[in-house]
Amino acid sequence: MPHRIGKINNVEKFDPEFFNIPATEAHMMDPMARMILEHTYEAIIDAGVNPKELQGTRTGVFTGICADTQSYSIYFKPYISGMSYWCNRSFVANRISYWLGTTGPSFNLDNACSSSHFVMTEAYNMIRSGNCDAAIVATANLCLHPYINFGFYRLGVLSSDGYCRPFDEAGSGYMRSDAMTVVYLQKAKNAKRIYATFVYGKTNCDGFKEEGITFPSFKVQKMLLKEFYEECGISPSELSYMEAHATGTIVGDPAEITSIDQTLCAKRNTLMGSIKSNLGHSEPASGLCQIAKILLAMETGIIMPTIHFKCPRKELTAIIEGRIKIVTEPTEWEGGYVGINSFGFGGANCHILLKSNPKQKINNGASNNDLSRLVIVSGRTEKAVKIILDDVRSRTIDTEYISLLHHIHNDNIEGHLYRGYMITGSKKSYDTINKIGHQYMKRPICFIFSGLGSQWSKMTGRALMKFPVFAKAVQKCDIVLRSYGIFLTDILLSDNKNIYNNIINLFLALVGLQI
């Protein structure tokens, strides 16, 4: 078998207490189930959402997983066989729904290598049809068991040297790879952070083929693309880039290139690439890896190059004649639409269309005043809180980012044992991180009146007048207090050392008016 494989770190690590899972149960769970829980939390937080907000909502949870590697060994251990159901693939989606308290649809979908694209399309259709309000789409692939690797090797789809060379004459298959990917899909009107818009998704199946079930059908792939762009009303000429499924197999790449050439290249040349050259093939998770690549291009402005491509196969005339150009160098992203192909080796085909978010930050998120900002965050550990605060400190003031943090942390996150705050944009450095001893104890609000002896010159609310909310409230009070001969705005902005009598009169007026 090939000696190379794509691996991810920390498969053995997990914090069961945070997810309310007993330690004995956590040991029985498939590693990918544990890691998907962690990545689901990350995706929700990255979207600017507190997990508590999802409780009782019709948020769907859809997973695209093919193999549960833990079950290969767990069924041979009689003393733990009673816990073996934790390796059932359906439990991955159900566990996320259970943890978050969501009531939307929750299931796993398995279509081999196109699983994550199929499940993204299903989530999209579920939201549009009103079956759920938002969706968590998760997929994973862990290459832990040698029997599975050996099976793919005997099938003849793996590269003998472990290198994946899409489109290249030296390509002889792919390298298997781990991946762990989660997407949080929302209606645009509800989203606080938008990386891209899911425009449309469509699936079909090859059906019967004389060559066999694992042989791709370029005719059915071509049919999918033709129907897709007719239905969504987007012309193929508007595509900025095409992310191919291309795995470097002898029959797969020519079939895909031919279908794309005959469908999309009639009106324009097409830029194309394949993430398989960079990461290997993560099978059911490969579709969301493609999406991750596109989102990185949209965020950074650079399309990641396809590596290991030197000379195209002789069957790939569209590349040879220049109608399709493979991106082999970092290339500037120009915005617009991106088409993404994903095919399962049983004949399950899917194509989705993404559009980059055209909205730009106003003044790069900078504030329109010189006010400092209070940032309050929480975390599972002290280090986690410090990382967030250090990140805020390393940036210029970004009001959109700070607003996102405020929304996430405006309520407790269960399991967060540390709280921290900082004042950004201040000449002095203020920050504190404390461990919360009684996490769920509601603390009373206290008003402290310091009595005599605390006055000093210019002890007014002048500084507070910089805050629009405070200034509007004062102006509103002015309207009421003018009949008493009191002008609150003048008092707050006055440098007169004898204004305290006015403040006392103001206090009496407020008491009398019960404001």
DSSP assignments along 364-380, one per residue: GG--SS---EEEEEEES
Residue 503 phi/psi, 5-degree rounding, is -65, -40
Domain that holds residue 386: 364-435
| pLDDT value at residue 79 | 54
Distance CA 408, CA 50 (A): 5
The reply to whether 489 and 431 lie within a common domain is no
**Token pair in block for residue 8:** 């991810």
The reply to whether 282 and 407 lie within a common domain is no
The residues near 414 (Cβ < 8 Å, ≥ 6 apart) are 51, 52
Is 451 domain-assigned?
Answer: no
Last residue of a domain, one of 435, 452, 484: 435
The reply to whether 114 and 238 lie within a common domain is yes
pLDDT tens-digit readout, 40-51: 999 999 999 999
What sign has the CA pseudo-torsion 220, 224, 225, 226? positive
pLDDT tens-digit readout, 455-479: 555 555 667 777 788 788 878 877 7
Q: Which residues are catalytic?
A: 113, 245, 281
The reply to whether 98 and 116 lie within a common domain is yes
Using only C-alpha atoms, the chain has a radius of gyration, in whole angstroms, of 29
Is 440 domain-assigned?
Answer: no
The reply to whether 296 and 374 lie within a common domain is no
| pLDDT value at residue 513 | 47
The reply to whether 330 and 389 lie within a common domain is no
CA dihedral of residues 245, 248, 254, 255 (deg, nearest 10): -40
Is 491 domain-assigned?
Answer: yes
Q: Which residue has the tokens 């149960």?
A: 25
The reply to whether 378 and 348 lie within a common domain is no
Print pLDDT tens along the chain (515 aa): 888 999 999 999 999 999 999 888 888 888 899 999 999 999 999 999 999 999 999 999 999 998 766 555 555 555 555 555 666 788 899 999 999 999 999 999 999 999 999 999 999 999 999 999 999 999 999 998 888 889 999 988 999 888 999 999 999 999 999 999 999 999 999 999 999 999 999 999 999 999 999 999 999 999 999 999 999 999 999 999 999 999 999 999 999 999 999 999 877 788 999 999 999 999 999 999 999 999 999 999 999 999 999 999 999 999 999 999 999 999 999 999 999 999 998 999 999 999 999 887 777 677 777 788 889 999 999 999 999 999 998 888 888 999 999 999 999 998 999 999 988 876 666 667 777 655 555 667 776 665 555 455 555 566 777 778 878 887 887 777 677 666 666 666 665 555 555 555 555 555 554 44
The reply to whether 204 and 245 lie within a common domain is yes
Coil, helix or strand for 294?
helix
Is 50 domain-assigned?
Answer: yes
pTM of the full structure: 0.86
Is 449 domain-assigned?
Answer: no
Tell me, what CATH number does 374's domain have? 3.30.70.3290
Domain count within the chain = 3
Cα distances (Å, whole numbers) of residue 54 to 114, 133, 265, 310 = 28, 10, 44, 49
Is 5 domain-assigned?
Answer: no
The reply to whether 347 and 390 lie within a common domain is no
| pLDDT value at residue 515 | 41
Last residue of a domain, one of 291, 325, 356: 356
| pLDDT value at residue 219 | 95
The reply to whether 419 and 299 lie within a common domain is no
Last residue of a domain, one of 356, 378, 400: 356
Distance CA 303, CA 335 (A): 11
Cα distances (Å, whole numbers) of residue 443 to 3, 422, 438, 440, 446 = 59, 21, 10, 9, 9
The reply to whether 145 and 112 lie within a common domain is yes
Is 12 domain-assigned?
Answer: no
Tell me, what CATH number does 138's domain have? 3.40.47.10
The reply to whether 374 and 312 lie within a common domain is no
Distance CA 36, CA 53 (A): 19
CA dihedral of residues 184, 185, 189, 190 (deg, nearest 10): -40
Q: Which DSSP category does 44 fall into?
A: H
Is 128 domain-assigned?
Answer: yes
